């Protein structure tokens, strides 16, 4: 997969955004040699399995009007860094309980000149700020995630939660404020066939 493939789904990417997205493969390959932030088998598929997967959120929900966004359990910076690249007018705070991963987040942001994104070494349960939107990639089952994330949302705030597999059982007791989208509705490829986006409205 190449940046040109990303342009197929995001035709309005600026030259700067394409440059920033394009640098991520090399940067994460370098960092992964020092700190294992991405599984070894996925590092060669970074564009598809991490970058496109992350920004797929924007194909289903417009982030343009969101000022403050929180990425919970960001790991090495996903989905937060790619989303911050394509949403330059929004402010992103990326948190993770593992300090060495947050070091990678901040170094990657610095390397590509990404000014609207910062990583914090924190546990979400102890975080105090309030946000328009919280995003995450499958850090836990949705119910406990909702429980500790909801207090971090403004009134009418949203959770955008990427997860794979059959979520029927997991969401059977979920509130009526949830919508479920299949990424394969808008993105081609075997990887996306089982991937879902959960949208929760507070």
Q: Where are the domains of the chain?
A: 3-201
Residues 113-140 have pLDDT tens digits of 999 999 999 999 999 999 999 999 987 8
Average pLDDT, the chain: 94
Multiple choice CATH, 3-201, 1.10.10.10, 3.40.50.150, 3.40.228.10, 3.40.50.300: 3.40.50.150
pTM: 0.96
Q: What is the DSSP pairing of strand 195-201 with strand 131-137?
A: unpaired
Distances (CA, A) of 33 to 40, 73, 103, 105: 10, 21, 14, 15
């Amino acid at each position: 997969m190449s940046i040109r493939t990303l342009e197929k789904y995001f035709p309005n990417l600026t030259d700067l955004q394409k440059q920033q997205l394009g640098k991520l493969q090399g940067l994460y390959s370098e960092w992964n040699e020092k700190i294992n932030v991405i599984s070894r088998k996925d590092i060669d598929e970074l564009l598809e399995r991490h970058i496109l997967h992350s920004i797929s959120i924007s194909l289903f929900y417009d982030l343009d009007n969101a000022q403050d966004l929180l990425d919970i359990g960001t790991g090495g910076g996903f989905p937060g860094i790619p989303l911050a690249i394509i949403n330059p007018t929004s402010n992103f705070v990326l948190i993770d309980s593992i300090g060495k991963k947050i070091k990678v987040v901040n170094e990657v942001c610095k390397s590509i000149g990404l000014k609207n994104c910062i990583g914090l070494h924190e546990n979400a349960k102890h975080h105090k700020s309030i946000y328009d939107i919280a995003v995450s990639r499958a850090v836990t089952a949705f119910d406990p995630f909702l429980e500790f994330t909801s207090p971090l949302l403004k009134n009418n705030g949203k959770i955008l939660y990427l997860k794979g597999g059959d979520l029927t059982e997991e969401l059977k007791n979920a509130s009526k404020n949830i919508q479920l989208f299949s990424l394969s509705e808008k993105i081609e490829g075997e990887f996306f066939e089982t991937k879902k986006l959960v949208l929760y409205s507070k």
